[in-house]
Structure 1
Amino acid sequence: MSLFSKILLGFAACLTAFECGAQQTLRVMEYNVENLFDCRHDSLKHDSEYLPHATRGWSWKRYHEKLNRIAKVILAASGEQVPDLVGLCEVENAYCLDGLVKYSPLRDAAYRYVMTDSPDERGIDVALLYQPSSFRLIAEQHIRIPSRELKRKPTRDILHVAGRVLSGDTLDVFVCHMPSRSGGEKQSEPYRLLTARTLRHAADSVMKIRKTPYLIIMGDFNDYPESRSVCQTLGAGKPGKDISSLNLYNLMNGKPGGTYRYRGEWGILDQLILNGTFLELKGNLTTSFDRARILTFPFLLEEDENYGGDKPFRTYNGMKYHGGYSDHLPVCLDIDLKCPVP
């Protein structure tokens, strides 16, 4: 058993259960926020595009507007309460997250966060915002992708976070941003396949040490639900009649619309994947295919003048500032929790 696994089991054994009513809802959200950069230079990263006086015209004013827009999206997804967990892709550093959770309209939500510090040359990482009242942090792990095997540039680490939820169960969350399609889909596919294998190995390791595993994988896969990296290598297909607790199921497989639009065609790059324990409807945490959705708030969309219909209202069109939210739409999932009565 690895040191990380021992830490997880040790913390889980000593934590006391939360007090709550008979049933609660855990809301999970994932959002690729499209290049959340500050305006400071990191000498170890290629972040020159997002410095004042660079070609993009990035500025502190635009940075703060970006934070406010991200906060608006998260708050719009709230309903009666803010999402308990929010996975974020394309965040530069902790300074940006501090700005989001402490100095934007999200400040009253009292989020805490964990994030990776990857070798990605552009300096973008993944993060998880969490509500400490509904997700008690146990441990975190940053999973490095062995990029040298394929002679590729380093990519983002996978973030693995374990926490105790209101039912008293341990929930394992993986946030990932798979390698891009830069250079072409076929040329870059082996890198995503390698990342998917690494992710599947990590997921299997966690499911082996949990008596009742509850595992969520979310992020921008730069591939579609039917792509080899998702459907075959990771092994996450659409839920069917036969559900197994140790299998993975993609709740975005078969959803209408998409989270990203390319040349007039919508596709789902942002995935919400669970192990079967959630879908067996026997345990303390349950959900279904219908509880996952793409968030299509009107303010996130604009008219596609070239191809017709709507497209994401993004921050940049190429190098030109456009003033929108992101080139991706967020995804959301509600999970029911059966809690011990205090």
Structure 2
Amino acid sequence: MIKITLIAAFLFSINIIAQNNTGSEFSVMFYNVENLFDCDNDSLTLDDEFTYEGDKHWSYGRYKHKLNQISKVILNVNKWNTPAIIGLCEIENKKVLSQLIYETGLNNIGYKYIHYNSPDKRGIDVALLYQKNQFTPLISYPIYLSDSTLHFYTRDALYVKGIANNNDTLHIIVNHWPSKRGGEKASEQKRLRVAKIIKSHTDSIKAVNIDSKIILIGDFNAELTSTSLQYLLEDNSFYSLLNPDEIKFQAIGGSHKYQGHWSLIDHILISSSLTRNSSVNLTHKIGHLNWLLEDDISYSGIKPKRTYSGPRYLKGASDHLPVILSIQYKKDGEQTLPINP
């Protein structure tokens, strides 16, 4: 009995030492949750297929299963450190956000949400979840990206300024850029137009304070080499810590897989002020929990297990994988790993 007690005390002391030698962590996650619709028919949007009578035979049971899967992702993707901030896209409304954070395993975490309706024809929007004990929002508003004169309608972006628990002021912009519908090259001009509006917004933030800490998160529907993303990256204002060339030959070669091809289209881009910050270590990863994946029978390898394949219900969480940025604040005197954007 004494031996067991001593071993337990020893393990406890190791745990305390490990905690004391580790600076506080603030993590940011983004997740395209693929058509998180409730079951109600909204007469103002094209959501008919995700209703009881719709082509997909959407039901309350399937909806609740999807909510629970998304909550499991959030609870497990970053081990014991649930993300302080989570950007979501393809959510229908405030109702699904409320039920996600209050009626699943997330109900004891202390998440709140920020959401505005956007002019997307299907009624899908972006949103931000945040842990109220780790992040305090100060300002939030939608960034309007549509242009009625050009008959161009897309999801708004979401801007949130707030204070992290270490007193850093963070500027977060959640994105869901136009899809590749109609072909990648033909649709790239739409994404470039959006990129210019986002860049104008970040320039305005930097005009007030050149060292502003800005984090752009979202499904950009574009890889880092695309014209639209290069517009954001070309002057070294923003960086991605994920190198597509280093992951494309791995089993998980990106955040999304289409017709056998992995691509990294879900991004967390950080301003240069964060990479220059000597008091933090930054790590960036794709969250690939085993149960989020399935065998890719058609093209070999594995792929994200989505909710539907056409009309066929697959019970998966999403056709995208989440991406996570961890900001590890070092203690006084602790060495920081070099960052080479």
TM-score normalised to the size of structure 1? 0.85
Aligned to 1:106, the other structure's residue is in SS state helix
Given the alignment, which residue of 230, 238, 241 partners 1:251? 241
Percent identical: 40
In 1: Cα distance, 2:64 partner to 2:225 partner = 37
Residues 219 and 267, structure 2, Cα contact 8 Å, conserved in 1: yes
Match of 1:167 in 2: 166
Paired positions, count: 307
Given the alignment, which residue of 232, 252, 269 partners 1:234? 232
Match of 1:15 in 2: none
Query: Per-residue displacement from partner, 1:64-88 (whole Å, max 9, x unpaired)?
Result: 0000000000001242231101110
In 2: Cα distance, 1:38 partner to 1:198 partner = 31
Query: Please, which moves more after superposition, 53-62 or 142-151?
Result: 142-151
Residues 146 and 156, structure 2, Cα contact 8 Å, conserved in 1: no
Give the counterpart letter for 1:269 in structure 2.
Answer: I
Q: 1:236 to 1:250 in 2, by over 3 A?
A: farther
In 2: Cα distance, 1:319 partner to 1:187 partner = 28
2:256 aligned with 1:260: yes
2:176 aligned with 1:184: no
Match of 2:293 in 1: 301
Match of 1:321 in 2: 313
Match of 1:213 in 2: 212
Q: 1:186 to 1:168 in 2, by over 3 A?
A: same
In 1: Cα distance, 2:32 partner to 2:175 partner = 10
Match of 1:121 in 2: 121
Shift of 1:22: 9.3
Query: Please, which moves more after superposition, 179-188 or 61-70?
Result: 179-188
Give the counterpart letter for 2:206 in structure 1.
Answer: M
Query: Which runs of structure 2 are paired with 1:12-27 in the superposition (5 Å)?
Result: 23-27=23-27
Query: Which runs of structure 2 are paired with 1:46-65 in the superposition (5 Å)?
Result: 46-65=46-65
Shift of 1:23: 3.5
Query: Please, which moves more after superposition, 208-217 or 196-205?
Result: 208-217
Shift of 1:339: 8.2
Instruction: Decide which structure has the larger Cα Rg and report it.
Output: 2
Residues 167 and 339, structure 1, Cα contact 8 Å, conserved in 2: no
2:40 aligned with 1:44: no
Residues 120 and 154, structure 2, Cα contact 8 Å, conserved in 1: yes
Unmatched segments (≥5 aa) in structure 1: 1-20, 238-243
TM-score normalised to the size of structure 2? 0.86
Query: Which runs of structure 2 are paired with 1:75-86 in the superposition (5 Å)?
Result: 75-86=75-86
Q: 1:236 to 1:103 in 2, by over 3 A?
A: farther
Shift of 1:287: 3.7
Residues 168 and 339, structure 1, Cα contact 8 Å, conserved in 2: no
Residues 167 and 338, structure 1, Cα contact 8 Å, conserved in 2: no
In 2: Cα distance, 1:167 partner to 1:95 partner = 31
Give the counterpart letter for 2:295 in structure 1.
Answer: E
Aligned to 1:212, the other structure's residue is in SS state coil
Residues 77 and 289, structure 2, Cα contact 8 Å, conserved in 1: no
Residues 29 and 324, structure 2, Cα contact 8 Å, conserved in 1: yes
Aligned to 2:105, the other structure's residue is in SS state coil
Aligned to 2:42, the other structure's residue is in SS state coil
Query: Which runs of structure 2 are paired with 1:133-144 in the superposition (5 Å)?
Result: 133-144=133-144
Aligned to 1:162, the other structure's residue is in SS state strand
Match of 2:222 in 1: 223
Query: Per-residue displacement from partner, 1:79-128 (whole Å, max 9, x unpaired)?
Result: 22311011101000000000000001111111001023100010000011
Shift of 1:149: 5.1
Residues 250 and 271, structure 1, Cα contact 8 Å, conserved in 2: yes
In 2: Cα distance, 1:223 partner to 1:176 partner = 12
Give the counterpart letter for 1:193 in structure 2.
Answer: L
Shift of 1:147: 2.7
In 1: Cα distance, 2:268 partner to 2:257 partner = 18
Query: Please, which moves more after superposition, 170-179 or 202-211?
Result: 202-211
In 2: Cα distance, 1:130 partner to 1:219 partner = 15
Shift of 1:321: 1.1
Shift of 1:326: 0.3
